[in-house]
Structure 1
Amino acid sequence: MKKLLLFLAISSTFLFSSCEGEDGQDGINILGQVYEVTTDLNYDSPNNLWRNIVTIPNDIVVYESDVVLVYLLEDVSQNGHDLWSPLPQNFFLSNGDIIQYVYNHTFFDVEILIDGNFDLISLGNQFTDDQTFRIAIVPAEYATANLSMEELLQNLEINNAQIETISN
């Protein structure tokens, strides 16, 4: 009797472990979106800031659980590759002054600012004019680490050709 029960247990294990059913429907693939904007920042004298508001394109929806990340195009390498820095980003100027690119956002726009420890009216236009930013709207799990632009694009399965460039 014990041998019969053992045989039935083993054979039922093989029988039920080899069963396959239809695959279920794929879920919605919720990945982030990235867009690029080149803009000038405008001086706000009452607050001693440089700022600009970039509108999020209408075809991009920002959910409550999403995280907005902003990257500054800092340079282009000798190989022609873009070098992106995540904001906030500090710059230490030769005279000892410090500026910092920062941002804040709503569901509809991103405000990019330059703050500093001196009267920013004298800040050179290399920091304020024709600045290129990549704005990424991503699910919260991608914001747990300080990802580089390359890591972010790889995780989101986005290549540079897919990034929409908007005018501001």
Structure 2
Amino acid sequence: MKKILTLFAVIGLIAFSSCEGPEGPPGPQGPDGIIGQVIQKTVNFNSPDYSVLIPYGLQIYPYDVVLVYHRYEINNGNAVWRLLPQTYYMSDGGALDFNYDFTINDVSIWLAADFPLNTLSTDWTQNQVFRIVIVPGEKLAGTAKSVNKADYSDYNAVIAKYNIDDSNVKKLN
């Protein structure tokens, strides 16, 4: 009995391992030339909700990562970008938060504070400049051991790490 089972096992192994047939149809075409993108938007935060919704105006994919940077200041002619969420501590001891969330269609940016937002100086609410960096999820693929992530808090490090061209930033009205 054991010899018969062994014989069937060997024959089955040989038969199934040597099967060849026509290849199946090719899979769907993936997006070509996936590259990261940078969008810039100047916004005003107003009462009552102190938030803005910014549609991208371009297609992103569910696996893409969206990072938002706030232009905090201009130092020696260079913009200083800070990754959101960001907390700024006021001279009176209060704390102001810039935060965001995103979907595949848009990004929402809002202010929150431990004091009434209507007491904020317009320096914090008007003409605030943000850069929205879209990093294709394809560029993040890999195992946890093999992925060498950029320092997301450093705008320039992210641009360099993911080879994103920010020389022609798309400015939204």
Provide the identity percentage: 28
TM-score (norm 2): 0.71
Counterparts of 1:10-49 in structure 2 under 5 Å?
Answer: 28-44=32-48, 49=49
Where does residue 166 of structure 1 map in the other structure? 172
Where does residue 50 of structure 2 map in the other structure? 50
Whether 2:156 is the aligned partner of 1:156: answer no
- How far, CA to CA, are the matches of 1:70 and 1:162 in structure 2? 17
Where does residue 9 of structure 1 map in the other structure? none
Where does residue 75 of structure 1 map in the other structure? 73
Q: State the 1:166 CA deviation.
A: 1.1
TM-score (norm 1): 0.72
Q: State the 1:84 CA deviation.
A: 0.3
Greater shift, 134-143 or 101-110, is seen at: 134-143
Specify every segment of 5 or more residues in structure 2 that has no aligned partner in the other structure, as ranges. Answer: 1-30, 142-147
Higher strand share: 1
Kept after mapping to 1: 8 A contact 2:35/2:135: yes
- Report the residue type matching 1:152 in the other structure: V
Q: How large is the Cα RMSD of the aligned pairs? A: 2.1
Q: Which 4+ stretches in 1 moved above 3 angstroms? A: 142-146
- How far, CA to CA, are the matches of 1:126 and 1:96 in structure 2? 17
Specify every segment of 5 or more residues in structure 1 that has no aligned partner in the other structure, as ranges. Answer: 1-26
- Report the residue type matching 1:134 in the other structure: R
Q: State the 1:146 CA deviation.
A: 3.7
Greater shift, 130-139 or 149-158, is seen at: 149-158
Greater shift, 156-165 or 111-120, is seen at: 156-165
Other structure's SS at 1:153 match: helix
Where does residue 84 of structure 1 map in the other structure? 81
For residues 113-141 of structure 1, give each alpha carbon's deviation from its aligned partner in whole angstroms, at most 9, with x where no partner exists.
Answer: 01111111111111110000000111232
- Report the residue type matching 1:153 in the other structure: I
For residues 10-67 of structure 1, give each alpha carbon's deviation from its aligned partner in whole angstroms, at most 9, with x where no partner exists.
Answer: xxxxxxxxxxxxxxxxx943221111011111222xxxx411111111xx21211111
- Report the residue type matching 2:170 in the other structure: E
- Report the residue type matching 1:51 in the other structure: S
Where does residue 25 of structure 2 map in the other structure? none
Kept after mapping to 1: 8 A contact 2:70/2:131: yes
Q: State the 1:145 CA deviation.
A: 4.5
1:132–1:77 CA distance, 2 compared to 1 (3 A): same
